[in-house]
Structure 1
Amino acid sequence: MAPSFPTSSFSDALVILGAAGIVIPTFARFRISPVIGFILVGLLVGPAGLGSLTRELPWLNYITISNPHAIEPFAEFGIVLLLFSIGLELSFRRLWAMRSLVFGVGAAQLIGAAMIIGTTLHIMGQSWGGAIGLGLALALSSTALVLPLVGTVSAVGRSALAMLLFEDLAIVPIIFLLGALAPYGQEAGFGGLLNTLLLGAVTIVAMLVLGRILLPRLFAQAARAKNPELFLAASLLVVIVASLVTTAVGLSPIMGALLAGILIAETDYHNEVEVITAPFRGLALGIFLITVGMSVDFRVVGENWSAILLAVLGVLTVKALVTAGLLRLGGARNAVAAEAGVLMASPSETTLIVLAAAAAAQLIRPETAAFWQIVTAVGLIITPLLAQLGRLVARRVDRLADVELPVIGPGEPAPAAVIIGFGRVGRLVAEMLATHGRTYLAVDSNIDTVAACRREGFPIIFGDVARPEMMDRLNLGHASALILTMDDPVLTVRLTKKVRAWCPDLTIVARARDAAHAAELYRAGATDAVPETLESSLQLSEAVLVDLGMAMGPVIASIHEKRAQLRAEIVALGSIEEQPGFHSRRRLRDRIGGADGA
């Protein structure tokens, strides 16, 4: 009797769920984006991978996807949910504030990159219609991959979001433009485009009005039921209805999903909706990434690897330079422009849609479309690597920029203090120094923190103090104090030891996690080490005594006395050498909080 194998839909579902169960925790453990994992699964189980061996080895039906086209609707649903979640992070106020980026830099980036790529392809022999279609397709960037990698809060994320929003808005006009350029669409193309845009505008206005009226009532009823399943059903209903409405009038379904998210973002229920739809969004996006991997044919790649490599590098270079240049002209910092340029260089999932539209309009040959589909798939695969590369480039750009900035100019007085680490602790120290008229210079390795503090007027520079050359440039021999507030105990001890060797008379005040860490800092040469755990305990004791009716003066005096006593014990702990059989050191550490960090 011949062995029976699972049906196509059952085996496909088994593969997808198994991939999600393996890829997400495995890649999260190694702090790698699961995006790469899902694409690699698609490469492995697709028709060009293990799927090509199912005739010889029938048992492979259990772990391969037999009908890639059957899961494409689920992949499209993943993109819809992704755009919906992006809309949840937006609001009309935020969109209005980003209008210059969206319709300024976003439009210039898409048109500029498309013109350069299209002109290059035309010079290489492609017809003008095909060159325009390919240029517009390859100029798009991936909303599905870029935004999950950088978010929408950072400077890079905001710039990427603005450009991606314009690209999402431009998808429908691009597809209609390709229809107008088609050999059979010269006359009716632009008329159809204008009709669709007019009908789409009316539909969007109607959705905005009705959404503001109906959505709060719908989600209020779902919330009163206190049933998570009902709330989820209401959320998915809104997404699907909005996508169907925009599709019915000729717009993209992702436009409806984005609009639904923006409308819900204006209600009090957006946080709950975002949380409850997240699992579906992640799984559906994983299905889309699997379909991307399945679109790569290894035989075609092997036969044309040099041309594919050149095409990928060419597209990445053009888009990175255009994006970075426009952002720089728009006033973005060098590091933000560089990171966003590298990140936005990869093609988009919608590139595949535009390529299919160009091929259907007979602007490009099927084999040309297949070639650029592989280029697009390769670009999507390396997008997480581009994100890493972009961050490295941004750090390098900021370091080079700060090298040109003298820390202490000739003839200028040295600051009274150098603060390394400008988080909540360092910032509070800086404000107290400024209150008492003492100058300071702050150093931090988080470029976003540096940029924000510079805008607020703080004297701060970007720098990695783990590098000896950076410490040399701080000219600590002319400073009166070094204040270490980083939340890195090992680096704090190492810097204390190095600086004490360079500057024997410099005052070094360091933030310590607990008494044991403070003792280690004293051994390294710190003038003062302030354990966070002990200070919080002293402040708590002061508050308790005052609230119990004790006079403020005696309470403060006793707190100062206890602080001095504990400091003496910590200093003694730091000066005692380890000796065999010596147990009082452990008892002392336990008594002042070093054993458990309390």
Structure 2
Amino acid sequence: MAVEASSSDLVQVVALLAAGVVAVPIFKRIGLGSILGYLAAGLVIGPFGLRIFSDPEAILHVAELGVVMFLFIIGLEMQPSRLWGLRREIFGLGTLQVAICALLLTGAGFAGGFPVAQAFVAGAGFVLTSTAIVMQLLEERGEIAVPKGQKIVSILLFEDLMIVPLLALVAFLAPGGGETMLAERLQEVGIGIAAIVGLVFAGRYLLNPLFRVLADSQAREVMTAAALLVVLGSALAMQLSGLSMAMGAFLAGVLLSESTFRHQLEADIEPFRGILLGLFFLAVGMSLDLSIVAANWRLIAVYVVAYMVAKAVGIYAVARFLKAQHREALERAVYMAQGGEFAFVLYSSAMAVGLIDGAANAQLTAIVIISMVLTPLAIVGLRWFAPRDQLSLEGVDVADGLTGSVLIIGFGRFGQIASQPLILRGVDVSIIDNDVEMIQAAANFGFKVYYGDGTRLDILHAAGAGGTRAVLICVDKAETAVRIAELVKSEFPLATVLARAFDRGTALQLVHAGVDYQLRETFESALVFGGSTLEALGVDPDEIVDVIEDVRRRDAARFEVQLAGDIRDGRNFLKGNIATPVPAPVTTPRQPGRALNEETAGVLGRQQTEPGT
């Protein structure tokens, strides 16, 4: 019997892994994203598909730890000062959005014939956006750290805080609720506040000394266990006090964000976070009760559309009222138009106190899950059908008829520094960039930068590339730099082209594109840094010069070998990212046969960066 039970458990584990491994790459390949892949896979292996699992709620409870760990990692990236700087967004924007959306959703339920109390419960549950889905979408698109992403994160944090007052309201609205149950809920609010204060105190005064002691033990597995203990312990503390587990983990991450152990903690938690977050989405997919949907499909379809549209309208209106651009407001509305996992908690509580019955709870849960499923599809639709906002070029001059002797394409941190010797020498420089905000900022410091996309031939003509003595490609994206280099060398073969390379692979591509000079962006600064380290260690300055020059020659030799290999066998240039090891310590006598001649090393060697980058 034990063997059979063990075999059954193993089948379920294998099914979970196989479902994710098969579905996610397929859905990402067709442009629907990993979240929808997990949800679909969960539906297939769940009680209403292949029936490999019969109790998705048990998996959902475990998988919620993925959301907890995700919020912990987000907290590690957000220092207390940064969180304090978002206080207006959290409590201002968050309050306004929750209030407006709750009013609209309650109105939608009331218009459908529900009593006010039930309409409020249904709407309030739908107000609570899915933290897991939205944060995953923001991470996949690299938008968590940008301003529009930070506003969404702020709203999600406020919604997490709202679960306790909403549960108190549910208790008050319950038949026979009144003062006794309200008093109990207010007591729970007090406990929650005390738990937050206790967690802040522990994070400020206890966690760093703890990790310092554990680090001295030199036991890696203990550090990993301690990281899990902090995440799960803080989540448990918040759950026992009536708050969300995710909020506890987030606060723990914020409190450790300035710790010297931050990167170690992130590395320890990351593998668990990814697996459990995928498991969470699988469990949500399993939880969709298709029998309830089939029996009430008209009602569910109407309310899914009504609730998502009403919430999206409320979010868009609040965003525009607070001066957000149309595109940003539209994206926020689509990202956050679904219900979330906290709705399940609220609906269960409402059912327990008699506000709604079991059938209503099942229907509302299905509505929320379907809205979660539809969100990735809605984002795909937004990308296909909604045009992006046109850039406002107010106060910005477009490149046209420029006649400088040097054309600089890209005016970020690299281009700004590269331009200064030319400007000080009196060289006539023309500068173009396609970042309007940067152009406006540069104007405040006296730089005249024109708007223009260096990957377009007509812009290059307008910027005077045909009459320049040199074109400097200073953009920060590797593929863009290569594309510009190929275009310039093809259309303006007499121009001298000098390019910034992101890494060794990009440098190889730029050489093949025909540039006259390329510099991998961190090479010289890294050599100066290494030389300064030797100086701090007491090495003789003349010896430091010799050592640094030896590094240049060896790096140039490796580069030439890789370049020759690319030409000979046609391999992908990016494979040159991995450099061969240095053949001998730099203190050994130089071997002319292993390095380029002095003239070549002087020209090419100074163009390279550290091995393998």
Q: Does 1:220 align with 2:218?
A: no
Inter-partner Cα distance in structure 1 for 2:444 and 2:294: 51
Higher mean C-alpha deviation, range 76-85 or range 318-327: 318-327
State the match for 1:46 in structure 2: 46
Q: Which residue of 2 aligns with 1:123?
A: 111
Match of 2:570 in 1: none
Distance in 1, Cα, partners of 2:48 & 2:498: 59
| Letter aligned with residue 375 of structure 1 | I
Q: Does 1:91 align with 2:79?
A: yes
Maintained 8 Å contact 1:88/1:270: yes
| CA deviation after TM superposition for structure 1 residue 230, in Å | 1.0
Partner of 2:517: 530
Shift of 1:169: 0.9
Deviation at 1:95, TM superposition (A): 1.4
Shift of 1:20: 4.9
Distance 1:515 1:154, change over 3 A: closer
Paired residue for 1:160, among 152, 159, 168?
A: 152
1:546-557 mapped onto 2 (5 Å cutoff): none
Secondary structure of 1:102's match? helix
**Counterpart Cα distance in 1 of 2:310 and 2:49:** 32
Q: Using the alignment, how far apart are the partners of 2:272 and 2:399 within structure 1?
A: 56
Between 1:143-152 and 1:469-478, the stretch displaced more is 469-478
Change (3 A) 1:508 1:365: farther
Q: Call closer, same or farther: CA 1:371–1:211 in 2, change over 3 Å.
A: same
- Distance in structure 2 (CA, Å) of the matches to 1:196 and 1:232: 33
Partner Cα separation in structure 2 for residue 357 and residue 454 of structure 1? 58
Do the aligned partners of residues 240 and 464 (structure 1) sit closer, same or farther apart at CA in structure 2, a change above 3 Å counting?
Answer: same
The change in CA–CA distance for 1:456 and 1:33 in structure 2 (over 3 A counts) is farther
- 1:393–1:109 Cα change, 3 Å: farther
Alignment of 1:178 onto 2:170: yes
Query: Which structure 1 residue ranges, 5 or more long, are not aligned?
Result: 52-63, 522-527, 556-589
Structure 1 segment 447-462 matched on structure 2, within 5 A:
none
- Work out whether 1:12 is the aligned partner of 2:4: no
Cα contact 2:20–2:37 (8 A) shared by 1: no
Q: Is the 8 A contact 1:39 1:289 kept in 2?
A: yes
**Alignment partner, residue 443 of structure 1:** 433
8 Å contact from structure 2 (residues 108, 307) kept in 1: no
Residue 108 of structure 2 aligns with an amino acid whose one-letter code is T
State the one-letter code of the partner of 2:363.
F
**SS of residue in 1 equivalent to 2:388:** helix
**Aligned pair in 2 of structure 1 residues 226, 300: CA closer, same or farther (>3 Å)?**
same
Work out the CA distance in 1 between the residues paired with 2:445 and 2:340.
Answer: 37
* Preserved contact between residue 342 and residue 389 of structure 1 (Cα < 8 Å): no
1:306 CA displacement: 6.0
* 1:372 to 2:364 alignment: yes
Measured in 1, the distance between the counterparts of 2:201 and 2:302 equals 49
Equivalent residue in structure 1 for 2:227, among 213, 225, 235: 235
What is the CA-CA distance between 1:215 and the residue it aligns to?
A: 1.2
The worse-fitting range, judged by mean Cα deviation, of 321-330 and 223-232 is 321-330
CA distance in 1, matches of 2:128, 2:443: 34
Residue 132 of structure 2, aligned match among 124, 129, 144 = 144
Partner of 1:106: 94
2:339–2:368 contact (8 Å) kept in structure 1: yes
**Residues 442 and 193 of structure 1: CA distance in aligned 2, closer, same or farther (over 3 Å):** farther
Aligned to 1:281: 273
Residues 492 and 510 of structure 1 are in contact (CA less than 8 Å); yes or no, is this contact kept in structure 2?
Answer: no
Distance in 2 between the 1:77 and 1:372 partners? Answer: 24
Change (3 A) 1:388 1:200: same
Preserved CA contact (<8 Å) 1:402 1:462 = no
252 and 12 in structure 1: CA distance in 2 versus 1, 3 angstrom threshold: same
Q: Which residue of 2 aligns with 1:202?
A: 194
Q: 1:142 to 1:255 in 2, by over 3 A?
A: same
Separation in structure 2 between the aligned mates of residue 286 and residue 247 of structure 1, nearest angstrom: 22
1 CA distance for matches of 2:208 and 2:392? Answer: 50
Q: 325-334 or 116-125, which moves further after superposition?
A: 325-334
For residues 177 and 258 of structure 1, the distance between their equivalents in structure 2, rounded to whole angstroms, comes to 25
Give the corresponding residue for 2:537: none
Could you tell me how far apart the structure 1 residues matched to 2:76 and 2:394 are? 42
TM-fit CA distance, 1:142: 1.9
2:433 partner SS: strand
Q: 1:385 to 1:224 in 2, by over 3 A?
A: farther
Deviation at 1:309, TM superposition (A): 4.8
Instruction: Give the Cα–Cα distance (whole angstroms) in 2 for the partners of residues 531 and 395 of structure 1.
Output: 37
TM-aligned CA distance change 1:273 to 1:497, over 3 Å: closer
Structure 1 Cα separation of the partners of residues 299 and 440 of structure 2: 41
Amino acid at match of 1:113: C
Aligned length: 531
Give, in whole Å, the separation in 1 of the partners of 2:196 and 2:177: 27
1:320-344 superposed Cα distances (whole Å, 9 cap, x missing partner)? 4433443444454554444333322
How many Å apart are 1:164 and its aligned residue?
0.7
Cα pair distance change 1:265/1:126, threshold 3 Å: same
TM-score by length of 1: 0.73
* Cα displacement (A) at 1:23: 5.4
Alpha-carbon distance, 1:452 to partner: 8.1
The letter of the residue matching 2:263 is: N
Change (3 A) 1:423 1:320: farther
Q: Structure 1 residues 452-461 or 285-294, which shifts more?
A: 452-461
> What is the identity, as a one-letter code, of the residue corresponding to 2:433?
V
Supply the distance in 1 between the matched residues of 2:150 and 2:451 (Cα, whole angstroms): 21
Distance 1:516 1:136, change over 3 A: closer
Measured in 2, the distance between the counterparts of 1:119 and 1:42 equals 33
Q: Which amino acid aligns with 1:444?
A: N
Post-superposition shift, 1:246?
2.7
Contact 2:399 2:452 in 1 (8 A): no
Q: Secondary structure at the match of 1:442?
A: strand
For structure 2, list consecutive stretches of 5 or more residues without a partner in the other structure: 501-505, 532-540, 550-599
Contact 1:43 1:296 in 2 (8 A): yes
Quote the Cα distance in structure 1 between the aligned partners of 2:34 and 2:378. 15
Distance 1:233 1:514, change over 3 A: closer
2:261 & 2:353 partners in 1: Cα distance?
44
Q: Is the 8 A contact 2:399 2:432 kept in 1?
A: no
Cα RMSD over matched residues?
A: 4.7
Letter of the 1:97 partner, please give it: G
Secondary structure of 2:212's aligned partner: helix
Q: Tell me if the contact between 1:12 and 1:66 (Cα under 8 Å) persists in the aligned partners.
A: no
One-letter code aligned to 1:531: Q
Deviation at 1:467, TM superposition (A): 6.7
Residues 196 and 302 of structure 1: is their aligned pair in 2 closer, same or farther, counting only changes over 3 Å?
A: closer
Distance 1:436 1:190 in 2: 76
C-alpha separation in 2, matches of 1:535 and 1:227: 35
8 Å contact from structure 1 (residues 8, 66) kept in 2: no
Give the alignment partner of residue 188 of structure 1, picking from 172, 180, 184.
Answer: 180
